[in-house]
Amino acid sequence: MKPITAEQAKLDQQFYEENGYWISPVVFDAEEVEALRKAHDRIWNQDFDGDAFPLTEWFPSDNPTRLRKIDNAWWINDEVYKTVTARKLGKLAANLMNTDEVRVWYDQAIYKPGTGKGEQTSVGNVGWHQDYVYWQCTNTTNLVTAWIALQDTDLSNGCMQVIPGSHKWGLLNSDGFFNTELEAVKKQMEVDEKPWREEPLILKAGQVSFHHSYTIHGSRQNYSNDPRLSIVAHYIPQGTAYKKIQNVDNIRLLGPRPKEGDLYDNQYFPLAYSASEEK
């Protein structure tokens, strides 16, 4: 990846602030992409590095047509850990969040099965949602998600789609990730006098899309014959702390008796970028 100039970084930040998403140049080369594809194979075959388990699990007995998702794959795969803590990725996130320090909130390995071009099905869809619905235990909404494409990704294989500008609509009352009927979720989330325009995030292998925690996004059917693979890193800015409003897994990573204001800065939230390292 070529260095991004200060002028270009400012333009990228402005685009993100206006639209709620941004697409990077190619960040990971062919060798790195192939290593992550092999990491996927190992994860789904339960060939883990070390003796731990991921925060959420997938089992071969699960429905093969449904989306596979494992949270905190970095706990059990060295290649995923190297990727989500990569300084080159963290620095891009830091620019978009306008922060001097970035930590991993958590990551996901996502496998969207290919159905071929036959019967239309919604089973593998990801419903329209805002990430912050699940992250209200943080004292900021300034979180960003980095979605790493491990193959060329477009509408034919179920690329992510975003609603540009929806990060300015506030937090909406919808928990839609697992609702695969996208039109039904859309009706719940539409805001009067706000344009609902679905923008496909078309990526080359190794490119990364970033979106704000309020940006509405989802994905449809993978019509190809191959699975659509991605590694997703969710990032938090410097100073992100616990807010007592909902019970989610990440609160438990603060220990048995967390207090409001406790920083998410321990070993479970590894550093991905620090501006001090450049000085």
For residue 55, the model assigns a pLDDT of 81
Q: Check which CATH number belongs to the domain holding 193 and give it.
A: 2.60.120.620
For residue 2, the model assigns a pLDDT of 79
Q: How far is CA 253 from CA 131, 144, 219, 256, 267, in A?
A: 19, 20, 30, 8, 9
Tokens 């706000």 belong to which residue? 194
Among the ranges given (36-40, 94-98, 158-162, 184-188), the one the predictor scored with the smallest mean pLDDT? 184-188
Q: How far is CA 249 from the centre of its chain?
A: 16
How many C-beta atoms lie closer than 10 Å to residue 73's C-beta? Answer: 27
Instruction: Name the more confident of 276 and 176.
Output: 276
For residue 179, the model assigns a pLDDT of 84
Q: How many residues does the chain have?
A: 279
User: DSSP string spanning 188-217?
Assistant: HH--TT-----EE--B-TTEEEEEETT--E
Q: Is there a domain that residue 1 lies in?
A: no
Q: Is 116 exposed, middle or buried (0-12, 13-18, 19+ CB in 10 A)?
A: exposed
What is the domain range of residue 190? Answer: 6-278
Residue 278: which residues within 8 A CB-CB, separation 6 or more? Answer: none
Q: State mean pLDDT over 216-242.
A: 97
Tokens 């092999």 belong to which residue? 38
Residue 49: which residues within 8 A CB-CB, separation 6 or more? Answer: 76, 77, 78
How many C-beta atoms lie closer than 10 Å to residue 157's C-beta? Answer: 23
For residue 279, the model assigns a pLDDT of 62
* In contact, 100 and 107? CB cutoff 8 Å: no
Q: Is there a domain that residue 181 lies in?
A: yes
Alpha helix (H) ranges present in 20-54? Answer: 30-44
Q: Is there a domain that residue 100 lies in?
A: yes
Q: Is the pLDDT of residue 57 over 90?
A: no
* In contact, 56 and 43? CB cutoff 8 Å: no
Q: Is the pLDDT of residue 232 over 80?
A: yes
Q: Is there a domain that residue 195 lies in?
A: yes
Q: Is there a domain that residue 201 lies in?
A: yes
Instruction: Express each pLDDT in 77-129 by its tens digit.
Output: 999 999 999 999 999 999 999 999 999 999 999 999 998 887 788 788 999 99
Highest averaged pLDDT of the listed ranges 125-129, 201-205, 273-277: 201-205
Q: Is there a domain that residue 169 lies in?
A: yes
pTM confidence score: 0.96
Q: Is there a domain that residue 179 lies in?
A: yes
Task: Give buried/exposed letters for 180-202 (b at 16+ CB in 10 A, else e).
Answer: bebeebbeebeeeeeeeebeebb
* In contact, 90 and 273? CB cutoff 8 Å: yes
Q: Which residues pair with 68 in a beta bridge?
A: 111
SS3 label, residue 43: helix
Q: How far is CA 89 from CA 95, 189, 273, in A?
A: 10, 31, 8
Q: How far is CA 148 from the centre of its chain?
A: 8
Average pLDDT of the residues of the chain:
94
Instruction: Express each pLDDT in 252-266 by its tens digit.
Output: 999 999 999 999 999
How many C-beta atoms lie closer than 10 Å to residue 117's C-beta? Answer: 11
Residues 126, 268, 245, CA angle at the centre, nearest 5°?
65
Domain tally for the chain? 1
Q: State mean pLDDT over 64-77.
A: 92
